[in-house]
Structure 1
Amino acid sequence: MKISVIGCGYLGAVHAACMAELGHEVIGIDVDAAKIALLAEGHPPFFEPGLPELLLSASASGRLRFSTDVAQIAEARVHFVAVGTPQLEGSNAADLRFVDAAIESLLPHLKPGDLVVGKSTVPVGTAARLVGLVESTGASLAWNPEFLREGFAVKDTLAPDRLVYGIAPGDVTAEALLDGVYASALAAGSPKVVTDFATAELVKVSANAFLATKISFINAMAEVAEATGADVTQLADAIGYDARIGRRFLNAGLGFGGGCLPKDIRAFMARAEELGVDQALSFLSEVDGINMRRRERMVDLAREVVGGDVAGKRIAVLGLAFKPDSDDVRDSPALDVALRLTELGADVVATDPQALETTRRRAPQLVTVASAQEAATGADAVLLLTEWREFRELDPVALASLARVPAIVDGRNCLDPVQWREAGWTYRALGRP
């Protein structure tokens, strides 16, 4: 099939490359000429495992190309809108300027029988607001939410764990076209849910709200564990055996961040208030609050291990991305903690396997180095804030020989306390005695 993808940021670039990998002819469109040039050369402007190889192979096949000229979508029949919906400045609501601009740019080029497919995460009611504009051209509108995990985005696109189609009642053409796009995933057994616009829009934000709630629940238990001397990691293991609960996303620690979960749950609350059902989602305010408190607690633990005052202390920060296998530092708990300590007068030296460049752009005042060993040299405390494999597999004996004071705060509960204590470290963690 001939497909266009409007917006070639994280979501759009991955989607375009994967659609070409599946055999479709794809044109990716973005207003950022520098981004388009990088993608055309096979260099994504962000880190995502497997994507550079996919871009190169898809471009070499002739099935994938990129442009800033939206008129080049004319031959495509299916048009994916994959632009960002950041948090609106001064509000919890989502900023829909980019979605609206993408739709407006498409309208002059749509033909009867075309299908516009929204993939951006939007407040419920957005598709209903836009459908008239799209249908005025003779085209149809569908909403097909994305469920990408940073670090696993290629796999999640090529082999999705479910496909959701939000379409107008009786629009069999839209369903058939989407079935054609996702033929390989459907043949491999990916479940398909065909529903209305509003339900499709709610699926993504509901899933994110549930995951955020589960993470904040175990972090709330970590607060109780610290007050009682219990071990939140063992607590999570025990309750995780209950099939109704499950162990996934019950890892207590520094909490969630990134460009999706925090802004999506805030936008969900804002939209609920507009709809007059804000009480139904009032619990999400506490979910957000618990998440932010973990950062404050991490700073408190850093204070404790250096004797009460971080001013003038050299603190090594291991991890800046909001999660491993990503260079994304948007709303990163790790970066937030590093900056808070810097503001308190600490001599912070930070490192990350992939997020050094994104950190330098967002927080140029932060001192960054290339390795954990360099960061830990002469440190009064080491803080592990992103659970990269390189950090989880550090040799505690070797690292102890570099630090001035062997004290570590495990912000992700990913290290073996016994092993580190036996190597001479003072070991502290969130929610553990």
Structure 2
Amino acid sequence: MKQKSDRRKRKVQIKKAAALLFLAMLAVICLVNLVHRDKEFSQKENRMLEQKPAFTLSGVTGGRYMKQYESYKSDQFAARDLWVSLKTNVDLLMGRRDSNGVFKGKKNYLLEDIAKPNEEQLEENIEAIRAFEQSYVDIPVYFALVPNAANVMSDKLPALAETEAQEKQFENIRKELGGKINWVDVQKVLKKHRNEDIYYHTDHHWTTLGASYAYEELAKAMGLDTANGPKWEKYTVSNDFNGTLSATSGYEQGYREPIHIYVPEKGEKSPDIVLNYVDEQKKTASLYDASKLKEKDQYAMFLGGNHAVIDLKTTAASTERLLLVKDSYANCLVPFLTPFFREIIIIDPRYYYGDIHQVMEENKITDILFLYNGNTFVEDNSISGVLKNNETE
């Protein structure tokens, strides 16, 4: 009886010790978080972090304040990167193969889940694009929607992974846009080359190789005189790239991959260029910002990242002037277009607040191209506002 009593006492003592240890760890974590300084930016995740929300009575009664505060505490939690990494590894051991909307695929591929459309906003965007085309009936409008890697390289998805049917999304968008807008099918050519490195392993963007195949389809649709254009040669500018999907998911953080650029072969004719970052009032004579290769988001070397508006002038023999409305997928494709346009006005609606109709008139635009990846386009809430801004009647 005495032995049983001793065992019970030891069990009680062990439980008390475990409880005290847990409470002590909790106290330490709370103390560390109290003295921990808030950060504005996460280098590892390559994004801005939530800041402490302003306390307002309406925010509290409406529930908005608590949601914002929860996001703030989640982003600013001490040693957050360590806890995220620990959770990711535990999930992997438990057999889970997705994290924060990213699948851990085969052959080190990380694949962003296919986004479900915001139907109301998508319809507004399509309606705005149609109305924009009708405002400039004499100017050809081209639309290229780039499928995401989880669509093109679905064979790399983990077993039992389910995604939205992006092909069906694209077909519906094509029909809704109507016959007056020139649909450029880049999905077919990318699927043809699906076994090549047309998407990064750790980033949500396509590679410059993938963009080059899309450029060939664009050239056919837009009637670009590629026979008199340059031949392209591939150069490696980095072998140390680890992209945003790795940062978002916590997967493949030790994986490094190359970034390539394509430039005219030696001896080939290539126009001189000047990029004018309009809002920043800065000019450069290069399509690439090498300083970005020293930062986390090395993809930002293409055009120096995302900007509201870039006025790209060239010495090309052509007198054509292109308006390019785009997301970041277009950044590595733009160099292929420079031999065929005297000027390219590049607008990213996510950051643009100017009058796009004024841009059309002042720059004597002759061609219009919309170029987006599927996920961005079906969730975008800025295109319709930009196209309708000061819309001509």
- Alignment TM-score, normalising by the size of structure 1: 0.29
- Alignment TM-score, normalising by the size of structure 2: 0.31
Q: Which has the larger radius of gyration?
A: 2
